[in-house]
DNA sequence: GCCACTTACTGGCTTAAGCCAGTTGGTTAA
DNA sequence: TTAACCAACTGGCTTAAGCCAGTAAGTGGC
């Protein structure tokens, strides 16, 4: 079936190392031979060995640490997201976000940092969806960082029109750090339903990769929600950037062999 | 704020080219200077210029064609997926899948190939969810390739227990190529509701990249649905692998500057 | 016992040169 | 006119050598 054409040296070394990792020759956390040693072993230039390791790093199989070595990455699959459809109902019944509900179900501790709450000029989509002025500082932005068992898993940015926020809706929750912003909305008489949801896969921006500690080559999920209140008026837009290697989806799913 | 440390040459060249693309010096479809020319222009080795182009290719900004050159990639944003929540209701009302509904709304033509229908050993998750034997060929697999205006956008794999399929449910639709498999289920008296949904972002496998024509560095969305019938019994598992650059999500969303 | 320093490793990135392979367009022979 | 060919490009990938920067462990002085 497959033509099995001769692999170029860098790919061949990468393939060999991949197998060695798969069959347990190198376990999670183990250090791979150094570039110079690999080059000598496979009778090739250091560049070539380096390229091989680069391929594995891009696949997220190994972590490369400058000055130290390349280590087999731990395959963390902690949070299983999106396990239930109709999460609006779930949210209303439990008062928990899908993330929080799932994390708690799995016995993970949850922590939410709120590194920034500020009045900003809205990104184009946000302005459009909330029907606010795209030129002035017409929205309040609240940034959340979510951790499960102290592992960063998700960044959330919630945008609310300034008139609605009145400087308090988002800020009032800041100190508690519970991040249960929907509960706060309810207290203030806003019953929010998420009516629109878009999702994409993309590579993280450098800042995001730093916060989420994603290895090179590992993409993130980028989800945008729009929430309307009980009068059908757009109330908030939330953008989540999630680590994709923590969602628990079994990648072998689509493998046919 | 940003330290702005001196960029190494390869990054510097990449950055320069990135800007040139952003400001329209190089338009969509334009050919970038060859590696050798770039190297001469920036007084560096060909390897360095090559690395710069590689960076842009990994970011999906350019397509590199062996023997021809590097071309500025067309930024296609055709299908906006997941525009509506509660797609179960939409499905029941319109009889269309979200993909099909959205594509039609945007005036795109839709084509579905069915390259494979076969009886297979189920992947682990499928066996678990459908409660079938994970060791024998207990499921029928139907592979769909979806095209919008002849651009490949999605791969779908539907799994149904062999006893239910009886060799006919999936096969009967094969020739028509409409891919409206839910309609066929309904005809046969199975009213299916999707109760579970998991999603991940990941890099495509080589075969997938080939089918979907994704450039290097562009991830795919990997979605798994489980459908139950009117008696609450798991009936089918569907796995979609989708191009993420066609979902229409504006990446500028989370950019703060 | 502790801390600072040294040293021998590690990866990061570059230059320079070369051969191979795919593409393209012009030229030549039928 | 057409088809085959060929030469001059293009990128793909490698070797070899070198310098820089980060890491970690050992060694010394205190």
Mutate to test the interface with A, among B8, B55, B85, B102 (most CBs of A within 10 A): B85
Q: Is A1 on the interface with B (CB under 8 A)?
A: no
Range list of H helices, A188-224: 206-212
Which residues 80-139 of chain B have a CB under 7 Å from nucleic chain C?
none
Interval B168-195: pLDDT, tens: 555 555 444 455 666 667 777 777 776 6
Distance in Å from C21's C1' to B214's CA comes to 23
Which value does ipTM take for this structure? 0.66
Asked which of A125-129, A169-173, A191-195, B216-220 is least confident by mean pLDDT, the reply is A169-173
Nearest-angstrom CA–CA distance, A123 and A145: 20
The CA distance from B209 to the nearest CA of chain A, in Å, is 13
Residue with smallest Cα–C1' gap to D13: A8
Mutate to test the interface with A, among B193, B200, B206, B237 (most CBs of A within 10 A): B200
Report whether pLDDT(A85) > 60.
no
Distance in Å from D15's C1' to B31's CA comes to 30
A206's torsion region: left (phi>0), alpha (psi -120 to 50) or beta? alpha
Nearest to B239 by CA among B112, B64, B122: B122
A52 nearest nt, CA–C1' = D13
Nearest-angstrom CA–CA distance, A52 and A74: 19
Q: Are B59 and B217 in contact (CB under 8 A)?
A: yes
The highest-confidence range among A82-96, A143-157, A170-184, by mean pLDDT, is A143-157
B150 vs B176 pLDDT, higher one: B150
For residue A222, list chain B residues with Cβ-Cβ distance below 8 A.
249, 251, 253-254
What are the residues whose beta carbons fall under 8 Å from the beta carbon of A165, sequence distance 6 or more? A139, A140
Q: How many CB atoms lie under 10 A from the CB of residue A8?
A: 11
- Find, in chain B, the residue whose alpha carbon is nearest to that of A200: B244
pLDDT at site A20: 92
The highest-confidence range among A171-175, B157-161, B213-217, by mean pLDDT, is B157-161
pLDDT at site B28: 86
Mean pLDDT within B101-121: 74
Q: Are A221 and A240 in contact (CB under 8 A)?
A: yes
B43 nearest nt, CA–C1' = C15
Cα atoms in the Cβ-side hemisphere of radius 13 Å centred on A187:
11
Mutate to test the interface with B, among A89, A253, A256, A257 (most CBs of B within 10 A): A253
The highest-confidence range among A135-139, A205-209, B206-210, by mean pLDDT, is A135-139
Q: Is B80 on the interface with A (CB under 8 A)?
A: yes
Q: In what order do the strands lie in the sheet with A110-120?
A: A110-120, A139-148, A151-161, A234-243, A220-228, A193-202
Report whether pLDDT(A249) > 50.
no
Asked which of A22-26, B41-45, B48-52, B71-75 is least confident by mean pLDDT, the reply is B71-75
Interval B64-78: pLDDT, tens: 999 999 999 876 544
For residue B202, list chain A residues with Cβ-Cβ distance below 8 A.
201, 219, 244, 251
The highest-confidence range among A58-72, A240-254, B171-185, by mean pLDDT, is A58-72
For strand C, the positions having any atom within 7 A of a protein Cβ are: 9-18, 21-24
Interval A34-59: pLDDT, tens: 999 999 999 999 999 999 999 888 87
- Rounded to the nearest integer, the mean pLDDT of chain B is 74
Interval A96-119: pLDDT, tens: 665 666 666 666 677 788 887 888
B243 vs A89 pLDDT, higher one: B243
Which of 115-174 (A) contact B at CB < 8 A? 120, 123-126, 141, 155, 157
A72 vs A89 pLDDT, higher one: A72
Nearest-angstrom CA–CA distance, B35 and B14: 12
Nearest to B113 by CA among B166, B160, B178: B178
Report whether pLDDT(A1) > 60.
no
B44 nearest nt, CA–C1' = C15
pTM surpassing 0.80? no
What are the residues whose beta carbons fall under 8 Å from the beta carbon of A92, sequence distance 6 or more? none
Q: Is B4 on the interface with A (CB under 8 A)?
A: no
Instruction: Name the DSSP letter for residue A200.
Output: E
Q: In what order do the strands lie in the sheet with B110-120?
A: B110-120, B139-148, B151-161, B234-243, B220-228, B193-202
| Residue A216, φ and ψ in degrees, nearest 5 | -60, 140
Nearest-angstrom CA–CA distance, A102 and B234: 22
Q: In percent, how much of chain B has pLDDT > 70? A: 68
């Amino acid at each position: 079936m497959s033509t099995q054409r001769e692999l170029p040296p860098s790919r061949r070394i990468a393939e060999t190392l991949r197998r060695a990792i798969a069959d347990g020759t190198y376990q999670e956390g183990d250090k791979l031979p150094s570039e110079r040693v690999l080059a000598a072993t496979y009778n090739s230039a250091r560049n070539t060995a380096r390229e091989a390791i680069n391929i594995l790093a891009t696949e997220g199989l190994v972590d490369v640490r400058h000055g130290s070595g390349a280590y087999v990455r731990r395959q963390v699959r902690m949070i299983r997201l999106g396990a239930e459809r109709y999460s609006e109902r779930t949210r209303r019944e439990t008062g928990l976000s899908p993330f929080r509900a799932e994390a708690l179900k799995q016995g993970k501790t949850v922590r939410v940092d709120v590194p920034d709450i500020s009045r900003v000029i809205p990104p184009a989509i946000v302005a459009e969806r909330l029907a606010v002025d795209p030129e002035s500082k017409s929205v309040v932005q609240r940034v959340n960082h979510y951790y499960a068992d102290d592992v960063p898993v998700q960044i959330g940015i919630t945008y609310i029109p300034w008139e609605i926020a009145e400087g308090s809706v988002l800020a009032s929750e800041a100190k508690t750090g519970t991040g249960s912003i929907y509960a706060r909305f309810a207290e203030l008489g806003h019953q929010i339903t998420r009516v629109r949801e878009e999702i994409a896969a993309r590579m993280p921006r450098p800042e995001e990769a730093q916060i989420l500690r994603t290895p090179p080559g590992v993409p993130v999920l980028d989800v945008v929600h729009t929430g309307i209140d009980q009068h059908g008026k757009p109330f908030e837009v939330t953008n989540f950037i999630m680590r994709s290697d923590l969602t628990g989806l079994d990648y072998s799913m689509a493998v046919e062999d």
